[in-house]
Structure 1
Amino acid sequence: MLKNYRIVLEYDGSRYDGWQKQGNTDRTIQGKIEGILERLAGEPIEVHGSGRTDAGVHALAQTANFHLNVKLSDLEIKEYLNQYLPEDISVIRLDKVPERFHSRLNAEEKTYLYQIETAGKKKVFERKYFYGFGRPLDVNAMKRASEYLIGEHDFKSFCSNKKMKKTTVRNVKRIEFQEKGSQLFIRFTGNGFLHHMVRILMGTLIEVGERKKSPEQMNVILKAMNRSEAGFTAPAEGLFLEKVSYKA
């Protein structure tokens, strides 16, 4: 009998072409997991992720689900996956969930973390996980700009998919800033995010922090609904999918 399993994963996205399986590469997170599950089950298994992290983006807690019929305990399935997954991908939790559970469709909100190093050089052992901006930022101006983004808005200006046919309206619930010495941590929590949306929001906030844009311009950019009005797309290495929340 097929059972629905949920897994929570952490991975270093540095050497991968993103979450989503693609025909022209075998370097995807979804592809690695499906390959191991196919070996276990003796047939193709489809893994559904809560969202598609881009090439180079990391995850502290990506959620996914799949259906499987094997005579193994939850712990044995988890151990099997971790035995054969590369060292930069790990299943940190696995459990059975109701048949109707879907990791993407049932997600209530997601939190992304972006990490910036403002010192002249990144710390050697953190170099793959921070954007090495290398210059001071006006964090107070960035905070003021972020206030315009809170709530339900059309975020078309912050979407890199020009052919997007579905709605570009999203609800950003919180943007939180934390400073530790020369390092800046920004968390974005919302009900969902568009293609490259967090990285474009981040790039635009950085331009505010550089004083290339004023905090008040954020409202103008939102209303323009034009990608060219927003800032640059911040690099992937600073971005983590930190948390995916579901109803209890």
Structure 2
Amino acid sequence: MTAKRTARLVLSLLAGLLLAGTVTTTAQAEDGYRFWGYYQWSNGQWAFAQKGADVTVPADGSVEGWRYALGGAKPRLPRAAGDFETICGATAAETGKKRVAVVIDSGTPADSVSGQAPPAATGTCVVTDPKATGAKVLAAVKPVRIEKGLTCGIAGYPATGCGDPVKNIQVPATDEPVQLEIGTPVGAANAPSPASAPTEQSDDGAPWTGIVIAAVVVLLLAGGGLVLSRRRTGQRT
């Protein structure tokens, strides 16, 4: 077993132990971890993933869930239902590909690292190769920060930290449900291509600048060669 999978398995086991406790009806202080939990929607509810996202291969029509939270003895599930039809219903099925709905819930301000505001919860439909793993499906939706084989940040949240232990946390009795922001499908035939998608940095004109410079250099070299040839011809005559 590689160090990457060992680290992932350790965190999964820790999270499983944390989530295995009895749900309390009131908030209470306890020790826990701040981390991204990985879930699957099954039989109308979220279930903690039994395997890491790098070895899990979600089936067509499945729903993957990610929730960032302070985890203790109480499960901290994604706060929105994994409704496949709501997320992927408007995205047509494609031959030779699968559709997977992805729910990303960055949690509450109380869950966050000090100074960082959690992004809104999102739902995105991913159209991808049938053999794509949960990790590949997630990476198709948002940039992922990986450290020591663990999913530490999604779309830059949080900017630092990874599965950090936290003393004396306050776990709420319940999490208020949230409304998902449904994003543009990823990988679908009618989805915007990467070339047309907006980017943070623009290189407009850069390729043409290089071509013009190269052309000028070629002309100068050609002109210099012509002059040199004429000089040699004149010397011979």
Give TM class, smaller chain.
under 0.3
Instruction: State which structure, 1 or 2, has the greater radius of gyration over its C-alpha atoms.
Output: 2
Q: Comparing both structures, which one devotes a greater share of its residues to strand? A: 1
TM-score by length of 2: 0.25
